[in-house]
Amino acid sequence: MKVSDLIDGRYRLERLLGTGGMSEVWLAEDQRLSRWVAVKILRDSVAGAAAGELVDSIEREARVIARLQHPNIVAVHDAGKHEGHHFLVMEYVHGFSVRQLVESQGRLGEAEAIRYGSQVASALQYAHEQGVIHCDVKPENILINENGVAKVADFGVADTVTRTLAPEAARAVLGTIAYLAPEVIQGFPADPRSDVYSLALTVYEMVAGRLPFAGATPAATAGQRLAMQAPPLRTLALSASAELESVLAKALALLPHDRYASAAEFGAGLRRAESLGSAVARPPVAAPPGRSPGPMAKRGSAARRRHDTTPIRRRAAERPWRSRASPPSSRSPSISTATIRASSPLRISARRTASPCLP
């Protein structure tokens, strides 16, 4: 695919946003509705001999996810096939991922991490009630728009791939498994508590600036998650509150029945930690040497934002790239929903029973 290609007679490709193990994601203009969308185009070579089964699974997934209507879930608008290429059309989120936030700032303030974590928990609870497990919650799949709203992308992709492909092919497509719950690493089916574990790891990383486990290899790191409880949050983040540490410890329990029973309970725990006065304001950490300050440099510290009395809606309206007359600037942070990284040598176990990731 190339710039200006017209997909399905409707979506004109404007700019490549990102690539992953299984797809490319493009910014495109929906010429019928005059709006910007993200078009995910599946790679022909992603599945080899299993391509047909994989594509069928992803198309079934798209139909399920398209029914999920929630302010914290990236919407799926359309799906189809164009000149032999299967594609998904999704809401375009102009902003940045949690991964970019952590890489730019080093770590987030506790209040900000709780806010994003609570929003994601709300999205997960809604999806779970519809019978959909995410299976791949991680910083790359949590997008923050220009108004500070978290949106979850890529529901069900990980489960579809691991059920359909051989372990080696699945590993090449999915890459990192650093956020999978212990039972999923062992090959058991994911359930809502598995998503809770993955989200808790993500919140932990937001506050501490790193994951609680760090082995010499991905396999060693996964082995730590199977054998031990995550170290208390305040061993890596001295300024974190005892309340948040306690909430994350429960959500990161090794056994699913020791965790919060639902994403709603975990979200309530996060909000309770904040209400107890646990959120400590802190300035952003400077970008690492040699890095661009990234998108967060413009946002400034939490303290500075408190003194900015300009209404959020007005500030957003003043941004010139909000206009539909021209595409969002490539210099603004553009988030792809294909942010899957490929590198982990760890074997992905086959599912022992049918997974509930799709109803």
Residues with catalytic roles:
136
Radius of gyration of the chain (CA): 20
- The torsion of the CA quartet 328, 84, 60, 48, rounded to 10 degrees, works out to -110
Output the CA angle 286-288-294, nearest 5 degrees: 70
Task: Report angle CA 207, 213, 218 to the nearest 5 degrees.
Answer: 125
Q: Which of 252, 248, 254, 255 is nearest to 269 (CA)?
A: 248
- Give the number of C-alpha atoms closer than 13 A to the C-alpha of residue 335, restricted to the C-beta side: 29
Which pair of tokens denotes residue 129? Answer: 């009630």
Q: Where are the alpha helices (DSSP H) in 228-311?
A: 242-251, 263-273, 302-306
Determine contact, residues 342/21, Cβ cutoff 8 Å.
yes
